[in-house]
Amino acid sequence: MGSYTVVRKFNWYYTFALICRFSFGSLGAKIPAIMYAFIQLGWYVIQAALFGHLIAVYFELSPFFEALAMIGSCLFMGLFALKGMRWMSVVGLVSIPTMIMLCLATAMRSIQDGGGWATVATFSGEETVSFMTAVGLVLGTWIFGASTTVADFNRFARSTKHVIAGCATGLLIVNSFIIGVGAIVGAASQQWDLVEILFGLGLVVPAFVLLTTNLWTTNSANLYSVGLTLSSVFPKVSRQTIMLGIMILASVLSLFKPYEIGAVFGMLTGLSIIVPPLTGIVLVDFYYLWNKQYPDHIENLSFKTVNPYAILAWLTGIGVALAIDIGFASLNAMLGAALLYALIMKASHLKMLSSGDEPLVTHQKTQEA
Amino acid sequence: MYKSLALGGIVVLSVGSFMSCLGAGPIAIAGDVILLSGCGISTWGFCYWQPDSQA
């Protein structure tokens, strides 16, 4: 679903915040955009604080220096997003092969030290969550990035084919590989954290390299995406200023130790029910209501201010996820919102473009046909 | 030249990763050095050459 959204956004060079205007209205789109920015900010703070915390743990730093490490980590990671795509692509190009090689090597070492494949095959965890909950959590981590953040970067791809190849490689193959490595290492060593395993084996340099490359790439992307989104919410403030503000805010928030596991799980659970309804609404809007024909030149269009039906559908989707225990919460939330949005919009005949723009859109569609 | 540095750096860091994680004693230490050198070389190369660039 996320990949579909990504491809559609690529075709119009619209970011997540811009595309929401078609369903939520010019002012209404600011609500999911601000929420999205806060969630991204949350991830940014969690990851940056975790990096600072692990440095502090390894070097046995006092609380004061741990705080400095977390603040430094927030500012350092943000610097690359501030410098733009060129710097971020250098980080990505170096980090990805490094992570893949270190993950493979760590998996081999864990299997070797843990007693071979027999240990992995017979592993059974002490604490279990239900299958549905586990799938919901995994969906929660990826549906958000796939449907929102990834799209913001795919605008720069050369063709739809490149976007599909990029999403299939990154989201499907590489992500599955990393999850697989994590599962093997977890089963072989009875620990869940690759970095802790490396520290435990005395492999300090690989641990820091893995941690840095892993957190650095995703966090720079997070901050860049927040900057893009908030730029559309506050068009008069430059993206650089917004990013600087976020880096400072993140530095302050990192002092509250957001890396603790309760906060991370809370975040994942929240994400798995808050974001999917948005994706459902956007997909219904594009495929069903607009018949896959969003108009070009969004800057020339004037939208209605707020679409209360989209907001109602979003809240209903969240309610559906909370109320229904059957199936996957994320999927229930998305389907609930999508169905309600489609029904209300068809029944009400509400048009989100102001009447002056409708002839323009019709004219463009006629020309395209 | 920068293309060679970028791609060669990846080969170096790959070798370093395996030596560092799977080796012991001096081999692991040498692996650490090779891993960090590979990252540095690769970063240097990618700063001036990237897969999409014509250089």
- Write the pLDDT tens digit of every residue in A20-41: 888 888 888 888 888 877 777 8
CA A242 – CA A157 distance, rounded (Å): 25
Q: Which of A176, A183, A227, A182 is nearest to A33 (CA)?
A: A227
Please classify residue B8 by burial: count the beta carbons closer than 10 Å to its beta carbon, then call 0-12 exposed, 13-18 middle and 19+ buried: middle
| Chain A residues within an 8 Å CB radius of B6 | 93
pLDDT band with cut points at 50, 70 and 90 for residue A367: very low
Say whether pLDDT at A233 is over 90. Answer: no
pLDDT, position A368:
42
pLDDT, position A357:
54
| Chain B residues within an 8 Å CB radius of A97 | 10, 13-14, 42
The distance from CA A85 to its chain's CA centroid, rounded to whole angstroms, is 17
Per-residue pLDDT tens over the stretch A179-232: 888 888 888 877 766 667 777 777 888 888 888 887 777 777 778 878 877 887
The distance from CA A252 to its chain's CA centroid, rounded to whole angstroms, is 22
Q: Does A306 touch chain B (CB under 8 A)?
A: no
DSSP A176-221: HHHHHHHHHHHHHHS-S-HHHHHHHTT-HHHHHHHHHHHHHHHHHH
Q: What is the pTM of this model?
A: 0.69
Q: Does B5 touch chain A (CB under 8 A)?
A: no
pLDDT, position A365:
44
Backbone angles phi, psi at A27, to 5 degrees: -85, -40
When pLDDT is averaged across residues B16-41 and rounded to a whole number, the result is 91
Specify which of A112-116, A134-138, A241-245, B27-31 reaches the highest per-range mean pLDDT: B27-31
CA A140 – CA A321 distance, rounded (Å): 12
| Chain A residues within an 8 Å CB radius of B30 | none
State the ipTM, two decimals: 0.91
CA A86 – CA A88 distance, rounded (Å): 5
Nearest CA in chain B to A104: B18
Q: Which residues pair with A353 in a beta bridge?
A: A303
CB neighbour list of residue A258: distance below 8 Å, 6 or more residues apart: A42, A45, A46, A49
Say whether pLDDT at B55 is over 50. Answer: no
CA A282 – CA B34 distance, rounded (Å): 48
When pLDDT is averaged across residues A88-102 and rounded to a whole number, the result is 86
| Chain A residues within an 8 Å CB radius of B38 | 98
Are B42 and A108 within 8 A, CB to CB? no
| Chain B residues within an 8 Å CB radius of A102 | 17, 21
Query: Looking at the partner chain, which of B6, B20, B22 has a beta carbon nearest the beta carbon of A205?
Result: B20
Say whether pLDDT at A8 is over 90. Answer: no
CB A206 within 8 A of CB B20: yes
| Chain B residues within an 8 Å CB radius of A109 | 21-22
Which domains, ranges and CATH numbers included, belong to chain A? 2-276 (1.10.4160.10)
CA B45 – CA A230 distance, rounded (Å): 33
Q: Which of A217, A129, A151 is nearest to A178 (CA)?
A: A217
Mutation to test the A interface, candidates B5, B10, B14, B17, most A Cβ within 10 Å: B17
Q: Does B30 touch chain A (CB under 8 A)?
A: no
CB pairs under 8 A between A and B: 61
Please classify residue A62 by burial: count the beta carbons closer than 10 Å to its beta carbon, then call 0-12 exposed, 13-18 middle and 19+ buried: exposed
Task: Pinpoint the alpha helices (H) of B23-52.
Answer: 26-48
Q: Does B4 touch chain A (CB under 8 A)?
A: no
Nearest CA in chain B to A88: B47
Chain A stretch 181-210, residues whose beta carbon is closer than 8 A to a beta carbon of chain B: 198, 203, 205-206, 209
Say whether pLDDT at A91 is over 50. Answer: yes
pLDDT, position A108:
87
Q: Does B42 touch chain A (CB under 8 A)?
A: yes
pLDDT, position A336:
92
CA B17 – CA B42 distance, rounded (Å): 14
